[in-house]
Chain A
Amino acid sequence: MTAARVAAVGLITGFGDGVRALPDDAARAAGRRRVIGIPRTPVSGERFRRATRECVLGVRAVNALLAEAGESAGALAGTATALVYVTAAAYGAANRAFIESTGGSAGTLHFPYTAPSAVPAEVAIEFGLRGDYAILLGDGSATEEALWHATTLLGRGACARVLVLAVETFEECADLYARGRWLVRWPLVEAAACALLVPGEPTTPAPASAVRARSGETGACAPLIGFALALAEGGVPAP
């Protein structure tokens, strides 16, 4: 199988943009806050009129990746880029909004945005991705499977590069997490992270286990944050 390496990473968390914003100790930085949300930042364009917050975060993460890589917005367009999306919980906010809307109307939320596929759809539309496509649901272990799937696609020659994207939002369902508080690792830190995988030889092993200490609980984003940390230290991590 063709070896794969992580060429670039985009990262936004409740602590700020990029790895430089991550504290040394997320729990201490969170203090008494159980959820560290990402402040809402509007994205311009009529196309995003209906888009949910998690969709906008996905687009922002990919923009961050492209900026880091020095690439234009069109660099990912076409069938040569596969897209693999992972989330454990980002659909929760839209699901809840739809369930709690009343009467025959669904309120302002457009129903298709309740689907987990809405986030990668907005990313695919924004950046013109039309290649292989998969969506996995779950936390960091699902992302590990997504990374394996991405390397499989590269090894098979099914694409030239794979964008692996993860988004997690928690604020809108914070009370639901609190109901099962002993099941949850705190603080929950909202995040949107993506990695661009390309054929090539990695120079460093899989990312270190310090991710949770630095970033808190970020669900499916954790393995990608590990890549961001490794790249920031000058490594070329293996997926």
Chain B
Amino acid sequence: MTRGAQGLHAEPVAVVAAGVITPLGVDVDSFWSGLLTGVDGISTIERFRVDDLRVGRGGEIKKLPAVTDGIRCRASALLVAAAADLRSRAPIDADATRLSVVVGTALGGVEEGEHALAHDRGPRRAAAARYDRPAHALARALGARGRVLTVSTACASGATALGLGADLLRADRADLVVAGGYDVLCRFVMRGFDVLRSLTRDRVRPFDRRRTGLLLGEGAALVLLARERDVRGERLGRLLGHGSASDGSHVAAPDPDGRGLEYSARTAMAEAGIEAGDVDFVSAHGTGTPLNDRIESAVLRRVLGDRADAVPVNSIKGAFGHTMGAAATLEAIMCLLASRHGAIPPTAGFEEPDPECGLDYVPRAPRRTRPRISVSTSAGFGGCNATLVLEGERGR
């Protein structure tokens, strides 16, 4: 670290409410109950051809809600569905020019590019392939005329978006920010991970000694962010800190020492003004790949220090796959729901501990505890790392 925690400390930002669409369910309530009760969000992919791939399973959303009828771009549809869930939980009440949208994605509108190159020669398909288009579709659906940002720190995008959204509020460049992440399960990304041999033929088993890889999923997750002093009434929690870092190590693989992830975690904790002893729960990136889970566990052990064995760590990717740009926001929401409901979802698929990982991964059943401070770590292609520090409403 080149700076002290004192100088970095940032004003907390309220997380007023959340909205999601996931393979476990198309709203926050079904997402949460699915995590606690062990619903399996993995299925055979039906929406596009997978018969030539090694693995044809993933976290596919089988039916989109009616609010998305008429929306051709699936990425935009997922965002609109999550926004509808969000709006059902909290009014989005701001001058349209002061309502901003910040969303993260690894794939943007790439599926539109597949259509544009395959059969649809019209100009709109090609234009819709730009990765920033779904964010503008969301802004239109919300009536937002403030800043519209798309971030793409690969599979850490959903965390980066929340960090940037919070900064917009702190700098008074917006009064409300709808922030989050999304990605679709499409042939492009399934082929890509298939070629890389990253997909498992088994189930996803984060931190388990038998883990052999990940499965992909799709979804969208949004939160409504506001300045603490502007919030009246109930909120889900607070975003205390965000940190990011590049590995500067490899385009596809994580840094073997996890330096970037560690830097992002320490930066986020410094921004939040917390120490390792304050951390009650960690939502890990936990992809279920041999390399990630071992490196991430070592990083968490260094960051948490003496507390490492006492802090529960989970990964929810075993339940419905790795939703890429949506993952970090879904995990942040999960952290806040854990505080609200007094339960930490188990790490689905984790049964046999790997001595090379060695933390408390919340096996088999939900853990009945009410975390106040949660840390959520994320990483992605290109050496992208991001960490969020969140405070559940228990702390209020």
Binds B, one of A12-20, A106-114, A187-195, A208-216: A106-114
- Contact status B381-A115, CB under 8 Å: yes
Cβ–Cβ contact A134 & B121, under 8 A: no
- Give chain B's interface secondary structure class: mixed
**Residue numbers in B under 8 Å from A168 (CB-CB):** none
In the complex, chain B residues 234-271 whose Cβ is within 8 Å of any chain A Cβ: 243-252, 259-260, 263, 267
A111 touches B260 (CB 8 A): no
Q: Are A152 and B382 in contact (CB under 8 A)?
A: no
The 10 closest A-B pairs by CB, nearest first: A117-B382, A180-B123, A121-B382, A111-B192, A112-B252, A124-B248, A133-B246, A124-B246, A176-B126, A137-B150
Q: Could you tell me if A133 and B122 are in contact, using CB atoms closer than 8 angstroms?
A: no
Task: Report A-chain residues with C-beta under 8 Å of the C-beta of B53.
Answer: 104
Query: Is A105 in the interface zone, CB < 8 Å from B?
Result: yes
| A118 in contact with B382 given A113-B251, A137-B132 (CB within 8 Å) | yes
**Bound CA span A103–B249, Å:** 31
Give the A-binding residues of B (Cβ under 8 A): 1-3, 7-8, 10, 52-53, 106, 108, 110, 113-114, 116-117, 121-124, 126-127, 129-132, 147, 149-154, 160, 164, 167, 171, 173, 188, 191-196, 243-252, 259-260, 263, 267, 380-385
Q: Which residue of A lies closest to B170 (CB)?
A: A152
Q: How many residues of A contact B (CB 8 A)?
A: 60
The listed residue with most B CB atoms (<10 A of its CB), out of A89, A132, A152, is: A132
Residues of A within 8 A of B131 (CB): 91, 116, 137
Contact A111 B244 (CB under 8 A): no
> A68-110 vs B: 1/0 string, CB under 8 Å?
0000000000111001000011011001101110011110001
Q: Hey, which chain A residues are within 8 Å of B194, CB to CB?
A: 104
Contact of B267 among A112, A121, A132, A135 (CB under 8 A): A132
Q: Give min CB distance, B236 to chain A, whole Å.
A: 25
With A117-B381, A131-B246 in contact, do A112 and B127 touch (Cβ < 8 Å)? no
B212: min CB distance to chain A, Å: 19
Given contacts A137-B131, A137-B150, A142-B149, contact A125 B267 (CB under 8 A): no
Query: What would 11 more interface pairs be, CB under 8 Å, given A115-B106, A124-B383, A137-B108?
Result: A88-B132, A95-B110, A98-B188, A114-B188, A121-B383, A131-B263, A133-B153, A133-B383, A135-B152, A135-B153, A137-B151
Q: Which residues of A contact B124 (CB under 8 A)?
A: 180
CA–CA, A152 and B152, complex, Å: 19
Question: Once bound together, how far apart are the Cα atoms of A149 and B244, in whole Å?
Answer: 13
A88–B8 touching, CB < 8 Å: no
Q: Quick check: is A24 within 8 A (CB to CB) of the other chain?
A: no
User: CB-CB < 8 A to A133: which residues of B?
Assistant: 153, 244-246, 260, 383-385
Pair A136/B246 contact, Cβ less than 8 Å: no
Q: Closest residue to B173 on the A side, CB-wise?
A: A148
A122 sits at the interface (CB 8 A): yes
A121 and B132 CA atoms in complex are apart in Å by 20
Q: List 20 A-B contacts (CB under 8 A).
A: A78-B2, A79-B245, A79-B263, A98-B188, A104-B194, A104-B195, A112-B382, A117-B152, A117-B381, A121-B251, A124-B247, A131-B246, A133-B260, A135-B153, A142-B150, A149-B164, A157-B7, A158-B267, A176-B116, A183-B127
